[in-house]
Structure 1
Amino acid sequence: MSAHQHAHAEFPLGPFRPYEQNPIMSPQGDGWESGSVYNPAAIVKDGQVVLLYRAHADDIVSHVGYATSDDGIHFERRPEPVLSPSEDYDRFGCEDPRVTEVDGTYYLTYTGWDRTSALLCLATSTDLVTWEKHGPMFPDFNTFLPQGNGQDAPWSKAGGILPVPIDGRYLMYFGEGSIWYAWSDDLIHWKPCSNDEPLMVPTGPGTFGEFLVEVGPQPIVTNNGLILLLHNAAVKNDDGTVRYTCGQLLFDPADPTRILAQMNRPWLEPTTHEDTHGLVSNVTFVEGLVHFKDTWFAYYGQSDSTLGVATYRVGDRYSDLAGR
């Protein structure tokens, strides 16, 4: 079995239970993470869970912080961010990271924000601390097509890279609004599909993804070799507010640009006070997923304000959780 194939991953992954003592991380201090702490990438390194999390002060200029844990719940943070605005394209924020490791190199996708366009960007590292930026990946793309987002400026977010190649090429799912895909020979240079051919568009009226769908954490390979992608989905209320929940998609590596199966109800949704009250209320937004010590940990932002986790202990069944 490939090192990237998980013996305990299948579709649908779960059941996940939110940790009863969420949030596991909150804003702190009076500096770069004093306003909000949320939307983390996650990976296992040297026997620890590492979170690369989004944080900002009241100015909402985001940085990426670094935290480690021996149990997946209790984290120690580095005092300074590991990725910060430095270029024109990300001068008002390095947002919403996802991370994948291939042959000792870490590939971080994040959103560069210049207050006009949100652009999917790439950075690489060999230690998760020192990062080299490679710039915007798809500077002319608009992932909100076909429905549009009310502006003409380019827009792209949310890149999840599959760590195992398919026929010698690497695959990435990306997009906010609709979901798209791209291929790469070297993990640095990526060729997207046509902007006219989204892989998944928002779901039908009355469903939990009718406003938008967006890539969650990096995809994983299941126990029978299929590709599993967790995603975020949103509805927009009549008063303009939104509600974000989480779904799952399944793909066949022989045909990874067509959905094989999808959940038709959320596996994670706002329930607690932190989930329903914050900078953007009614949001559970998953960006980190790891298998660690016989448990799956899904890390998510709570209302763009705090950071929570939901866990699935391998062997748990939905019927066993009834009434808990």
Structure 2
Amino acid sequence: MKVYRYEENPLITPADVVPHHEQFEVIGAFNAGIAVYGDEIIMLLRVAERPISPDPEKVLAPVFNTDTQELDLIELRLDDERYDFSDPRVIRNKSQSATFEYLTSLSYLRIARSKDGHHFTVDEKPFLYPSQKLETFGIEDPRITQIGDIYYIYFSAVSPVGVGESMVSTTDFEKVKHHGMIFGPDNKDVLIFPEKVNGKYYALHRPTTKSTGNPEMWIAESDNLLYWGNHKHLIGLRSGMWDGGRMGGGCVPIKTERGWLELYHGATAEHRYCMGAVLLDLNDPSKVLARSNKPILEPEAEYEKNGFFGDVVFACGAIVDGDIVKMYYGVADTSMAGCELSLQAILDSLEPLE
């Protein structure tokens, strides 16, 4: 697959974002939702900030307190044998190794704006900040679907009771209306289609179970964008392939003459994240027509291979201009990058399902 990576990549790095909190450092500005608003391209960044501990023997875990509307910093000693600090992203209680007890950073959403799609300016203040009980560990990985004049923004809401998908809406990227959690824990990678199909709204989602099943892609339908049902399993993991470890939706589905094109991420068991595509029927998106056997984008550039969590390309938004797909994607769980691909080439690369 021929890919044109922007010369300006990475487009936004943590160094481009001033911390919102004193005595914090920005460790990630990535996995942004993408929208066109007026004459601007909006990049709604996930900004991850980590408290700087004054004591090298201790780590601070940020937790939003809904009673005080302030951040609490939980102080833990690195030699505390009850906890596992080996993963820089999370702090695990060794007695509950399958889950984490705290995150080492707090994520919120911040707008970056561009006229040309290559050079972005980051707003001074957060656009969305944790405010609800289901967001006390932060809000992450937004996607944006425009339907009419309304932009629906949905994101992972993280708290001690799990990770679910919450939604707000806006018409001006200033005022927002909160709609609550639309997919309960544990669920991520929700993508709402940009128009109704046969009178129904459709959404992709990625539930994760602790009993049986794998982190795979599902589809659901709704009459009102708030209550989702008729859930169906859409595509699964493929052992030994680029999407054999986990997968999830990437960009809002793109309507083409051949069907709904979904650009999704897949990872190997070794956590190497690539981008591929799946084609869904125009009139019945629960029907899979074709799928990528090989990735359309792999972590090859230095900024994709090295970072907070390396070997990751993770697209969250695309703008289609004729045959050009302008895809914006997170790199190495650290920064944002952009690239262009041919829509026709992506469609032609897909292997039809028998």
Given candidates 116, 126, 137, the residue that maps to 2:171 is 126
Indicate conservation of the 8 Å contact 2:198/2:283, yes or no.
no
> In structure 1, what is the Cα distance between the partners aligned to 2:160 and 2:166?
15
CA gap of 1:190–1:248, structure 2 versus 1, over 3 A, is: same
Query: Per the alignment, do residues 127 and 293 of structure 1 end up closer, same or farther by CA in structure 2, a change over 3 Å counting?
Result: farther
Q: Determine if the alignment matches structure 1 residue 49 to structure 2 residue 48.
A: no
Distance (Å, rounded) in 2 between the aligned partners of 1:173 and 1:77:
29
Answer whether contact 1:44 1:292 (CA < 8 A) is retained: no
Tell me the residue number matched to 1:184: 222
2:192 paired residue among 133, 136, 161: 161
2:268 aligns to what?
235
Structure 2 residue 11 is the aligned partner of structure 1 residue 24? yes
Return the alpha-carbon distance in structure 2 between the equivalents of residues 128 and 276 of structure 1: 33
Cα deviation, residue 116, structure 1? 4.7
**2:247 aligns with one of 198, 203, 213:** 213
Return the TM-score normalized by structure 2: 0.75
Higher strand share: 2
- State the 1:36 CA deviation: 0.7
Q: Please report how far the alpha carbon of residue 135 of structure 1 lies from its aligned counterpart in structure 2 after TM superposition.
A: 1.7
2:198 maps to 1:198: no
Post-superposition shift, 1:229? 0.5
Count of matched residue pairs: 282
**1:95 corresponding residue in structure 2:** 140
Q: What SS does the corresponding residue of 1:62 show, helix, strand or coil?
A: strand
Output the CA distance in 2 between the equivalents of 1:243 and 1:116.
28
Measure, in 1, the Cα distance between the counterparts of 2:344 and 2:243: 29
Q: Which residue of 2 aligns with 1:35?
A: 27
Name the amino acid aligned to 2:40.
Q
TM-score, normalising length from structure 1? 0.81
Aligned residue identity for 1:53: L
Cα gap change, 1:43/1:181 in structure 2, threshold over 3 Å: closer, same or farther?
same
- Superposed CA RMSD in Å reads 2.2
Query: Aligned AA for 1:220?
Result: I
Deviation at 1:275, TM superposition (A): 0.9
Alignment deviations for residues 69-119 of structure 1 (CA, whole Å, 9 cap, x no partner): 111110111111111111111111110011111121111110001145111
Q: Distance in 2 between matches of 1:277 and 1:236?
A: 18
Per-residue CA distance 1:21-68 (angstroms, 9 max, x = gap): 310001132436722100011111112211111111124211111111
In 2, distance between residues paired with 1:313 and 1:46? 25
Gap regions ≥5 residues in structure 2: 51-103, 208-214, 347-354
Distance 1:192 1:117, change over 3 A: farther
CA distance in 2, matches of 1:101, 1:128: 12
Distance 1:74 1:294, change over 3 A: farther
Per mean C-alpha deviation after superposition, the further-off stretch among 228-237 and 122-131 is 122-131
Q: CA deviation at 1:132?
A: 2.0
Q: What per-residue deviation string (whole Å, max 9, x for no partner) do you get for residues 152-193 of structure 1?
A: xx3100111111111111111111621111111122332251
8 Å CA contact retained: 2:323, 2:344: no
Counterpart of 1:157 in 2: which secondary structure?
strand
1:4 corresponds to: none
Deviation at 1:314, TM superposition (A): 7.3
Partners of 1:52 and 1:66 within 8 A in 2:
yes
Match of 1:151 in 2: none
SS of the residue 1:271 aligns to: coil
Residue 170 of structure 1: which of 201, 204, 215 is its match? 201
Query: Percent identity over the alignment?
Result: 28
Contact 1:62–1:94 (Cα < 8 Å) also in 2:
yes
CA distance in 2, matches of 1:247, 1:314: 13
The separation in 2 between residues aligned to 1:53 and 1:308, in whole angstroms, is 12
